[in-house]
Structures are given as C-alpha cells and as structure tokens.
Amino acid sequence: MLESIAHASDLTKSLFLLVVGVTGVYTTLALFYLMIKILMRAFKDHDA
C-alpha cells in the first residue's frame, strides 16, 4: 500500500497525508475525552 502511495501523484499523496493527519487528531481528542471521563468518574466528589 505504501509503495503505491509513494509512486502516486502529488495530489494523492497530499490527500493521504490529510486523511492520516485528521484521523490522528480526532483519535487523540477521543482518547483525551475518554481519559477525562474515566478520571471524573474515579475521583467523583461524594459529598455533593
């Protein structure tokens, strides 16, 4: 797969890089969201 991208046009390479970058950003955001939700549940204030 990577070899076919290496020989592709510049437009195809840039679109592939765009998709990989956006996927990485949203994956990171989802992981932070899940970590915050887990930590909020773990350290919930029971006095309120």
Render pLDDT for 1-48 as a digit per residue (tens, 0 to 9).
888 888 999 999 999 999 999 999 999 999 999 999 999 999 987 665
Decide: pTM greater than 0.85: no
Alpha-carbon separation of residue 34 from 8, 9, 11, 12, 16 (angstroms):
37, 38, 35, 33, 27
Whole-number percent of the chain with pLDDT over 70:
94
- pLDDT for 28: 98
Distance CA 13, CA 7 (A): 9
Amino acid at 5: I
The alpha helices in 1-48, defined as continuous H runs, are 2-6, 10-42
- pLDDT for 2: 81
- Domain ranges within the chain, ordered by starting residue: 2-42
